[in-house]
Amino acid sequence: MSYGFDKAKKPIDVTAPIEKKLDMTGLDMTPPAITPEQEAAVVAKGDALGFGPREPVAAPVALDTRPRQLTTPTRKRKAVPTKSILVKGPEAVMERFVAYTNDIGAGAYWEALDVLLKAKQW
């Protein structure tokens, strides 16, 4: 199968007149006149079918202009530079460190490391 790729395309003649496909010289291009009764009937039919206006709805007027307080407190941390390190070691030592972290209630390994360094006065 060639899928038509083996055929050479004819070059386009830009000087040739453009061929019109449809003759629309006799058509009136103005919109048809609609009476207010016809428009009201169409709008009522659209409302009955579930269609509504597209106009934007006005924003509700706020009665209370005081800033709202959040219902749940947000965490406020100071942004400090961070650094990642990978520590490999014997499995027994790493398991002891994980157990130690859990025992002191630290949420992260760096917190347990910080406790150890402060105890050593490092």
Percentage of residues of the chain with pLDDT beyond 70: 83
Domain hosting 103: range is: 88-122
**Is residue 72 assigned to a domain?**
no
**Is residue 101 assigned to a domain?**
yes
Residue 7 has pLDDT above 80, yes or no: no
**Is residue 57 assigned to a domain?**
no
pLDDT digits (tens, 9 = 90+) for 11-63: 777 787 777 678 778 888 888 899 999 999 999 999 999 888 777 777 766 66
Confidence of residue 90 (pLDDT cuts 50, 70, 90): very high
Residue 27 to residue 25: CA distance in whole angstroms:
6
**Is residue 27 assigned to a domain?**
no
pLDDT for residue 42? 93
Residue at token pair 């579930």: 50
Confidence of residue 69 (pLDDT cuts 50, 70, 90): low
**Is residue 60 assigned to a domain?**
no
Residue 85 has pLDDT above 80, yes or no: yes
Q: How many domains does the chain have?
A: 1
- Residue ranges of alpha helices (H) inside the chain are 36-48, 91-104, 109-119
3-state secondary structure 22-46: CCCCCCCCCCCCCCHHHHHHHHHHH
